[in-house]
Amino acid sequence: MLPVAELHMHIEGSLEAELVVALARRNGIDLPTFDPAELKSRYRFTDLQSFLDIYYDNLAVLRTKEDFYDLGSAYLARAAAAGVRRAEMFFDLQTHTQNGIAPATVFGGLTAAIADATAATGISADLILCFLRHLGGDAATETLRSALPFRDQFIGVGLDSSELGFPPSLFTESFGLAAAEGLHRVAHAGEEGGPDYVWEALDLLGVERIDHGNRAMEDADLVARLRDEQIPLTVCPLSNIALKTAPPELADHLLPAMLAEGLLVSINSDDPAYFGGYVDDNYAAIETQLSLTPAQLGLLAENSFTSSFLPEAEKEALRLEVRAAVA
């Protein structure tokens, strides 16, 4: 099994339909259906927004610290079994506070899940607080302030939700505050938005990684910048197919072109409960459908650690484990 880091997954996107139903029953919440298969039959998307509408609906079942604990625990156990040694997990705090949940409930459940998973499997994991673009810049700043009492329970901030119409330039204040707090900074850019969103994320928000970034390939100057500065791109192949942000056939994905350009790309699941699989499923799909060599798969795994926020010595030790596994 290839050891990997997973750097682009939304913990809420690992909420399996079976757990939606179990939590709805536990919390006395109504659902359109209590049949997980029927719930999943709605998971046919035309674009990012069509996914987000269903994803946010399902998150209404998360009410208690125990719910967040169960959500985090399920992902971390599944990830550890798939070879994930390091997980940097996004969470959407604003979705939960809008549902009337206190930040302490969200942090309490997820942080306890991480501690117990690390004790049980050795997996290393941390949280990244994502701002919801569709709620705007002021809400992002306010959200970060409300999370600062829990500053030791997350390592960075990110930017997710509806991309088009919500450029990175709206979020300079919250990202500035994050930088002043010594938090890492990442942003979704170039998933549906154009290369200009990637430029803005780099130049205006000072991000250390770009989440997705596929559309950066449309701009040769941007490709050169990403290559020269080895700015990580966290690519999500099965997500791209599900949300139609890549050609319909995985065989036509830009990933080989990104590797050929010398970009620091890694493979991630994004929202594994919705897009047809966890990170190991993404690796298996690209291996078969893009005919990647063992050396290329090893490079992607090494890239995942290089792109992580682990200390340099730990990155190097994990890259050596990848090389040993590939050899």
Which residues sit in the known binding site? 8, 10, 188, 270-271
Report, in Å, the least distance between residue 153 CB and Zn ion: 21
DSSP 203-265: HTT--SEEEE-GGGGG-HHHHHHHHHTT--EEE-HHHHHHTTSS-SSGGG-SHHHHHHTT--E
Instruction: Indicate whether 214 belongs to the interface with ligand HPA (CB under 6 A).
Output: no
Measured from the CB atom, the residue of 268 and 304 that comes closer to ligand HPA is 268
Please give the single-letter amino acid code of residue 164: L
Q: Please pick, from the candidates 95, 161, 303, 304, the single residue that binds ligand HPA as defined by CB under 6 A.
A: 161
160 binds ligand HPA (CB under 6 A): yes
Distance CA 16, CA 12 (A): 9
Query: Measured from the CB of residue 160, what is the shortest distance to ligand HPA in angstroms?
Result: 4
Q: Residue 239 or 304: which CB sits closer to ligand HPA?
A: 239
Binding-site residues for substrate, please?
271
CA separation for the pair 198, 187 (Å, rounded) = 9
**Which residue number, 186 or 299, has a Cβ lying nearer to ligand HPA?**
186
DSSP state of 164: T
Contacts of 220 (CB under 8 A, 6+ apart): none
Which of ligand HPA, Zn ion, none has residue 13 at its interface (CB below 5 to 8 Å by kind)?
ligand HPA
Backbone angles phi, psi at 228, to 5 degrees: -65, -40
> Is-catalytic flag, 191?
yes
| Chosen from ligand HPA, Zn ion, none, partner binding at 16 (C-beta under 5 to 8 Å by type) | none
Which of ligand HPA, Zn ion, none interacts with 161 (beta carbon under 5 to 8 A by kind)? ligand HPA
Q: Which residue is nearest to Zn ion (CB)?
A: 270
How far is it, in rounded angstroms, from Cα 57 to Cα 94?
A: 14
Helix (H/G/I), strand (E/B), else coil: 292: coil
Q: Is 270 in the site for ligand HPA (CB under 6 A)?
A: yes
What phi and psi, each to the nearest 5 degrees, are found at residue 174? -65, -40
Angle at 220 between CA 219 and CA 226, to 5 degrees: 90
Which of the following is catalytic: 191, 192, 200, 302?
A: 191
Which residue's CB is nearer to ligand HPA, number 124 or number 161? Answer: 161
User: Should residue 270 be labelled a site residue for Zn ion when binding is judged by CB under 5 A?
Assistant: yes
- Should residue 239 be labelled a site residue for ligand HPA when binding is judged by CB under 6 A? yes
Task: Return the active site residues.
Answer: 191
